[in-house]
Amino acid sequence: MQRSLFFLFSWLFVFAQAPAQIVTTQPAFPTTDQEVTLIVDLRQAKDSRAAGLLGKTNDVYLWSGAGSTDTNPWEFQPAGQTDFSKPFEPGRMTALGNDRWQIKLTPRTYFNVPAAKAIKRLGLVVKSGDGRFQTEDLFVSVFDTKLSVIFTKPTEQRFFVEANSTIDVQAIASQKANFTITRQGATVFTASNRDTVNFSFSAGNLGNTVFPVIVQAKTASETAADTFYYSIRPQPKIAELPAGVKDGITYLAADRVILSFFAPEKQFVHVIGEFNNWTYSPAYLMNRTPDGNRYWIELGSLPAGQEVAYQYLVNGTLAVADPYADKILDPNNDKYISSTTYPNLKAYPQGAQGIVSVLQTNQTPFAWKTASFQRSDPKKMVVYELLVRDFSSNRSYKTLTDSLSYLKRLGVNVIELMPVMEFSGNDSWGYNPIFYFAPDKAYGTKDDLKRFVDACHSNGIAVVLDMVLNQADYEFPYVKMYWNNDRPAANNPFFNQQATHPFSVFFDFNHESTATQALVQRVCQYWIQEYKFDGYRFDLSKGFTQKNTGNDVNAWGTYDASRVAIWKRIYDQIRSYDKTAYVMLEHFADNQEEKELANYGMMLWGNHNYDFRGAARGQGGNFEGISYQKRGFSTPNLIGYAESHDEERIMFDLAQNGIIDGNYNIKTVATALDRSKLAAAFLLSVPGPKLIWQFGELGYDLSINTCSDGTTILNDCRTAAKPVRWNYAQDARRLKLYKTYSEFIKLKQSLPAFSSTDFTMDFSTTVKRLTLPNVSGSAFLIGNFETRSQTVKAGFPSGGIWYHYFTGQEINVQDPNMTLVLEPGAFHLFTQTKLPAPESGIVPFTLTSSLITAVPEDLRLDLQLNPNPTADEVMLNLTNGYRGPVAITLIDMQGREVMTQQVQKNSPQLRQLIPTKALPTATYLIRVRQGDQQATKRFIKQ
């Protein structure tokens, strides 16, 4: 069963909060072998995702299981129930009207339960066909054919009441019987020959006592019983929080801790756990601080160095894990985490229900190996964004650490991890957080994560964490604790009842709340100090607003002074304990607002995916907004990118939508890869920090909407796991794209011109130019985004000696506007500083020999082609003093090598006949290489 798709409410919460009528059965005592009608009232559902089921007249299905014990109601499942995201026809439910649905089934037959086993419990979820909408997990008890009796009032098994209040009791039996009801052993009610009884009694006023109430039904041959427990609502002791204690766990000694829990407006809280068999008792009632906002308790006699699971029982009804714990145990999802990923994971404790938190005294501190680390200057920053799940096939921090050599060779100096704090399920982008201080165990242990950060630092790479503080999912304790029907309650100290902005997912934090502000400050300080992260990329930072714009996207993006103040406060807090930490915002708001935040010191994401994709596929695109100066920023704090986790992949777009112009076909892999090199050249060369999304450097070509089965469905599969294509690194063509990225990254980090503050761009036409002036030597980039050759004025910033970066050719530019012929997709980078030439052949684009005028006399190439144009053959004449091997390559205008041969030059003149009769009519290049020099001539095949 794909338990990552939905979560299990704690048992206490189901019985304390969910009215019994959410699921009713006919008959009232269903048995294993008797047909039962299950009736579900969706209006009573507590999961916010169930709202999508309301109002439906079809497309509602049962997803269910049966258990032979009370502990695993999913032990047996109906045949064919395998994919939660698809309709399950045997589970199709029938509408009764008013959002009530029913289904009839015989448990043993429906769930394929062996004849030797009896069913004790059913687990139910009601969902839409595609699984996007669902209820919480629901449960139905199954009885044997013997006499049975149950309390139908009260609905809770354990609860608290006010002193001297009246408790109404209703009990029903599966057949007529004699009833006896006792309270703490004393009989309080009897009745004869009935199948239903109703009774009321006073709860009394005796505190610090748990009262068992037992109903016994008896016939001449059988006896059955049921029990509930109640206590008088306690009055916590008022006591100040001890000095130095923070919310969460404060370790005092090998066997002692203090637990502190922020819970304003709650009446009382018990701590329950392995130390008291998960039952409340007066000894574990927490103290309340004088302001009524916190509860705390000191626990002693804990086993030194051992993990201990615990929860907070709030108002006697709702059990939640500690929101500040650095580890949790999830009964529904941990079972799917392999021992390779997380060795020796603590077993989920018997008797617990729902997510529990873990404490452990005497933990061995992590031994950091990199004592000091110097973060890169933001203007030289190249960020590599990755998702652990989709970067390594086994989805682990360990494998990620082992892959660092690949990223170091690429040259990136910052890795940005998509969210890793505990999120709902095991399979996610991570933007549905539920515990902000606990790394998700689906990727490994917390020491594995620290080891990864440490290894990055030892390799000169910073690590930024994608931080999600706009929203939280339902299992975050502070969502559940203050809940009203289908949304956060009005008195929730952290969350808005309704998001103040469009595009909201899950539940929206109120960042003007003091409780939220304190949480944000604590979370941000924690990951930097505990895990040595180098900063944060804040997700959906534009959502940090209380200026309610409803569904008006344009209004949401307008300048918001309160939002600016919120971000300046967060930034100042972070810089108070880490003066160089990176603060990156996914903001996308009014430029005035972004400019103010950037000039204050924050870095802003700059999305230019649309323009880069349009330009790369030959349909135009002006990405000049990738320049921080174009945006009016005083510092290079714009992180420009052509791809991110949220955008369509360039290579996929080229394969689907690239232009075919004669023999030039952008849809082919080879041409698309060359177009990707062109895009990367301009992306990385514009001064300022840049970001690349994982495997973009290898030309990853599956859509963002690719599903786990390989199909592509718009939107539905956007966040689905994607195939990991490490085999692309073995493809020579894709490896050239990787090396092109690497070369430009190296230049950004080492050549002063690439940090120029006086650069100019001409990106408005299909031939784009970038000039990077610098006193130590300028650089000039020109590229042709057209699908045909372009003859243009080069537009060098100045004359003189320039060097063609990818070949090392020296060029004497006498006229900056000299004519330059650019093949489709070709780009050329020129520098005034002579640099070591990259590996030959990374890019297929060469210069014509007319540009090469400064070759030393004894190596000067004298190359002639005759006749030109030609029909059947062309004679190559090469005259100079060189002796030795000469490589001759015939290249078409798509950059493809049509013919290659090597000959020996033994005299001043080399004459070589090249047959051309079989070639299609077109323009071609002949490239001649001798030693470390080369020249290119163009000829026309008629």
Give the tokens for residue 689.
């920090």
564: left (phi over 0), alpha (psi -120 to 50) or beta: alpha
Residues 104 and 204 in one domain: no
Does residue 597 sit in helix, strand or coil?
Answer: helix
Give the tokens for residue 370.
């990199």
Bridging pattern class, strands 582-585 and 603-607: parallel
CATH number, residue 135:
2.60.40
Element spanning 940, H or E: strand 933-941
Residue reference for tokens 């008896």:
218
Residues 112 and 70 in one domain: yes
Residues 51 and 136 in one domain: yes
One-letter amino acid identity for 587?
H
Residues 6+ apart with CB under 8 A from 103: 37, 38, 62, 91, 92, 93, 94
Element spanning 607, H or E: strand 603-607
CATH number, residue 317:
2.60.40.10
Q: How far apart are CA 239 and CA 572, in angstroms?
A: 33
Residues 765 and 798 in one domain: yes
Residues 43 and 119 in one domain: yes
Residues 195 and 300 in one domain: no
Last residue of a domain, one of 313, 334, 360: 360
Give the tokens for residue 571.
């930034």
Dihedrals phi, psi of 574, to nearest 5 degrees: -60, -45
Q: What is the pLDDT, as a whole number, of residue 861?
A: 57
99: left (phi over 0), alpha (psi -120 to 50) or beta: left
Q: How far apart are CA 489 and CA 603, in angstroms?
A: 35
Query: CB–CB of 144/118 below 8 Å?
Result: yes
Does residue 570 sit in helix, strand or coil?
Answer: helix
Residues 116 and 29 in one domain: yes
Residues 6+ apart with CB under 8 A from 85: 5, 130, 131, 716
Residue reference for tokens 């082919």:
668
Domain presence at residue 291: yes
Residues 824 and 930 in one domain: no
Residues 34 and 104 in one domain: yes
Q: How far apart are CA 228 and CA 212, in angstroms?
A: 6
Neighbours of 278 (CB within 10 A): 21
Q: How far apart are CA 589 and CA 555, in angstroms?
A: 10
Domain presence at residue 480: no
351: left (phi over 0), alpha (psi -120 to 50) or beta: left
Which residues make beta-bridge pairs with 507?
472
Last residue of a domain, one of 312, 340, 360: 360
Last residue of a domain, one of 826, 851, 876: 851
Residues 170 and 223 in one domain: yes
pLDDT-flagged residues of the chain (< 70)? 1-21, 48, 709-710, 712-715, 848-861, 894-895, 932
DSSP characters over 651-705: HHHHHHH--EETTEETTSHHHHHHHHHHHHHHHHHSSS-EEEETTGGGT--S-TT
Residues 134 and 199 in one domain: no
In degrees, rounded to 5, the angle at the alpha carbon of residue 240 between the alpha carbons of residues 236 and 244 is: 130
Query: CB–CB of 423/473 below 8 Å?
Result: yes
Q: What is the pLDDT, as a whole number, of residue 19?
A: 38
Give the tokens for residue 673.
């890869």
Domain presence at residue 281: yes
Q: Tell me the residue range of the domain where 187 lies.
A: 149-232
Domain presence at residue 823: yes
One-letter amino acid identity for 680?
A
Nearest residue to 141 via CA among 221, 23, 53, 227? 23
Query: CB–CB of 426/757 below 8 Å?
Result: no
Q: How far apart are CA 680 and CA 665, in angstroms?
A: 19
One-letter amino acid identity for 190?
T
Domain presence at residue 202: yes
The 8-class DSSP code of residue 375 comes to: P
Domain presence at residue 419: no
Query: CB–CB of 90/127 below 8 Å?
Result: no
Which residues make beta-bridge pairs with 484?
487
Nearest residue to 687 via CA among 772, 613, 805, 604? 772
DSSP H helix total and E strand total for the chain = 15, 53
Domain presence at residue 26: yes
Residue reference for tokens 């990156």:
584
Domain presence at residue 373: no
Give the tokens for residue 893.
């205008």
Does residue 224 sit in helix, strand or coil?
Answer: strand
**Order of all β-strands in the sheet with 94-97:** 23-26, 36-41, 100-105, 94-97
The 8-class DSSP code of residue 240 comes to: P
Task: For the chain, report the end-to-end CA distance as a whole number of angstroms.
Answer: 67
For the chain, the domain total comes to 5
What are the C-alpha distances in Å from 568 to residues 474, 575, 594, 649? 29, 10, 12, 34
The 8-class DSSP code of residue 630 comes to: T
Q: How far apart are CA 642 and CA 616, in angstroms?
A: 11
CATH number, residue 784:
2.60.40.1180
Cis before residue 867, ω within 30 degrees of 0? yes
Q: What is the pLDDT, as a whole number, of residue 713?
A: 67
What's the 3-state SS for 70-83? CCCCCCECCCCCCC
Does residue 229 sit in helix, strand or coil?
Answer: strand
Q: What is the pLDDT, as a whole number, of residue 933?
A: 75
What are the C-alpha distances in Å from 599 to residues 247, 534, 919? 35, 20, 58
Q: How far apart are CA 77 and CA 81, in angstroms?
A: 7
Nearest residue to 471 via CA among 440, 501, 441, 446? 501
Q: How far apart are CA 122 and CA 460, in angstroms?
A: 54
Q: How far apart are CA 517 and CA 510, in angstroms?
A: 9
Residues 135 and 157 in one domain: no
Residues 6+ apart with CB under 8 A from 499: 471, 507, 508, 543
